[in-house]
Chain A
Amino acid sequence: MSMLLIGAVAVTTGEFIPSAGAPDVFPPFDPRTFASQLFWLAVSFGALYFLMARVALPRIGEVIEERRDRIQRDLDEAVRLKAETDAALKAYEQSLADARGKAQGLAKETRDRLAAETDAERHRVEGELNAKLAETEKRIGETKARALASVDEIAASTASDVVSLLTGKGVSDGEVRKALAKARAG
């Protein structure tokens, strides 16, 4: 069919694109085909350029751009959240340090208070004990003095008894005492 048509064209124009068979020139260098190739190249490449520039590329570019924006937004959001987290962590550590300091203060205060109370109690008990000790020493001293005084009496009565037994004569208390005082002094 096409051969017939080409044949018709050839008859009327004298130039035609060979439809089949062995070429008489090397096909890529056959100038008879140039016009057709250039025309259809212009049509097809023009259409391709139009479709790419107006439809396909803007769509792809839009999607890629949108994705890039979205990723950037998400990254920014992540950075912001990280900063928030860091701030919260810092606040937490700060309050922890505060609490620790407060607890230490409280512990020290309690320790000091207890130590002071213990000291006071000890002082009181020591005072009481000292007072009791002093009183007891005083009593011992009195008892000793009393005992020593008794020793004189006993010595006097013993001496008068001894004298009366030896001499058979009574001795007055006054004489005995004088003699004892003389002996103690001598």
Chain B
Amino acid sequence: MAAGADGAHSPIAQFEIKSLVPLRLFGFDTSFTNSALFMIIAVALISAFLIMSMRGRSLVPTRMQSVAEVFYEFVANTVRDNVGQEGMKFFPLVFSLFVFVLICNVVGLVPGAFTVTSHIVVTAALALLVIGIVIVYGVATQGTHFLKLFVPDVPPALLPLMVPIEVISFLSRPLSLSVRLFANMLAGHIALKIFAGFVGSLLAAGVWGIISPLPLLLTIALTALELLVAVLQAYVFAVLTCVYLNDAVHGAHH
């Protein structure tokens, strides 16, 4: 059991932020870390893929180009379905959020890689960005009418009850948006690490090594499941972003 007990094999060691290049800006520690490295890797992968694949700009797409187009159409349809044609001004934002979360999640599944989205501060920042845009755009285009969002169509007697509920539900949006993604990534990676750790521990435990293929098989199955979760959570994040943006664009039409 010695191999499983040291720090490097702790299930939470994979979430450690390690400084690669120390840097101080504006009085804060903004060191270039493994997290920053994987953010940059994700952005580089996405940009390289989307820009390279469209180099030909052919009418009959190449394989790479059609993949890029599938991504585009998929997100564009999600925005159109949830927000409508006026929502297309937010299309670059939703697309960036979707591919960023998706690629960070998927790259994080590579053994040894760091999962940017397993940190609550990252997912919270993205969620607050979305809610911030919803509030700013909603107030800018609808003014005080935007506050109608908190006043549902109910008998006036119920309003003292309903308005606080609506306010709490609105405030819980960034919370649920960020925690959902963070918790899914965190839990999935911990589970993977624990089961993968069993393989090593069992192999090191003499005769128990015979049953070591069992956690290995489980790890393989979990990896497939985590791939699904990685894609699904990116999609959920994008869809919920669209749903919230719909309030900013169309106001309260419950």
Residues of A within 8 A of B (CB): 2, 5-6, 8-9, 13, 15-23, 26-30, 32-45, 47-49, 51-53, 55-57, 59-64, 66-67, 70
Chain B residue numbers with a CB within 8 Å of A36 are 17, 19, 28-33, 35-36
Q: Is B228 an interface residue (CB 8 A)?
A: no
Cβ contacts B35-57/A at 8 Å (1 or 0 each) = 11001101100110011001001
Instruction: Check B95 against A52 for contact (C-beta < 8 Å).
Output: yes
Q: Besides A23-B13, A44-B43, A52-B99, 18 other CB < 8 A contacts? A: A5-B22, A17-B22, A23-B12, A26-B12, A28-B186, A30-B17, A33-B17, A36-B35, A37-B119, A40-B33, A40-B35, A43-B39, A44-B36, A45-B39, A48-B46, A52-B46, A63-B57, A64-B73
Residue of A nearest to B13 (CB): A22
**Cα distance, A67 to B69, chains bound together (Å):** 12
Residues of B within 8 A of A (CB): 7, 10, 12-13, 15-22, 24-25, 28-33, 35-36, 39-40, 42-43, 46-47, 50-51, 54, 57-59, 61, 65, 68-69, 72-73, 91-93, 95-96, 99-100, 116, 118-122, 125-126, 182, 186
User: A85 CB to closest chain B CB, in angstroms?
Assistant: 27
8 A-B pairs closest in CB distance = A40-B36, A53-B92, A35-B28, A44-B39, A56-B50, A22-B7, A27-B15, A39-B30
Instruction: Check A38 against B22 for contact (C-beta < 8 Å).
Output: no
A-B contact count (CB 8 A): 175
User: B126 CB to closest chain A CB, in angstroms?
Assistant: 8
Question: Pick the contact of A35 from B29, B43, B61, B65 — CB < 8 Å?
Answer: B29
**Cα distance, A13 to B91, chains bound together (Å):** 42
Question: Pick the contact of A2 from B12, B15, B17, B19 — CB < 8 Å?
Answer: B19
Q: Counting chain A CB atoms within 10 Å of each CB, which of B18, B46, B61 scores highest?
A: B18
Instruction: Check B31 against A20 for contact (C-beta < 8 Å).
Output: no
**Cα distance, A62 to B69, chains bound together (Å):** 11
Chain B residue numbers with a CB within 8 Å of A43 are 36, 39
Q: List 9 A-B contacts (CB under 8 A).
A: A27-B16, A35-B28, A37-B121, A44-B39, A49-B92, A49-B96, A52-B46, A60-B68, A63-B57
Chain A residue numbers with a CB within 8 Å of B118 are 28
Chain B residue numbers with a CB within 8 Å of A17 are 17-19, 22, 29, 31, 33
Instruction: Check A37 against B36 for contact (C-beta < 8 Å).
Output: yes
Chain B interface mostly: helix
> Known contacts A36-B29, A49-B92; is A19 also within 8 Å of B119 by CB?
no
**Cα distance, A5 to B24, chains bound together (Å):** 12
Instruction: Check B28 against A70 for contact (C-beta < 8 Å).
Output: no
User: A159 CB to closest chain B CB, in angstroms?
Assistant: 134
User: A27 CB to closest chain B CB, in angstroms?
Assistant: 4
User: B91 CB to closest chain A CB, in angstroms?
Assistant: 7
**Cα distance, A52 to B30, chains bound together (Å):** 25
Instruction: Check B35 against A47 for contact (C-beta < 8 Å).
Output: no
Instruction: Check B46 against A59 for contact (C-beta < 8 Å).
Output: no
Chain B residue numbers with a CB within 8 Å of A67 are 59
User: A173 CB to closest chain B CB, in angstroms?
Assistant: 136
Residue of A nearest to B14 (CB): A27
Question: Pick the contact of A6 from B19, B57, B182, B186 — CB < 8 Å?
Answer: B19
Question: Pick the contact of B18 from A20, A42, A61, A64 — CB < 8 Å?
Answer: A20
Chain A residue numbers with a CB within 8 Å of B33 are 17, 33, 36-37, 40
Question: Pick the contact of B92 from A5, A9, A57, A64 — CB < 8 Å?
Answer: A57
**Cα distance, A27 to B18, chains bound together (Å):** 10
Instruction: Check A60 against B121 for contact (C-beta < 8 Å).
Output: no
Instruction: Check B95 against A70 for contact (C-beta < 8 Å).
Output: no
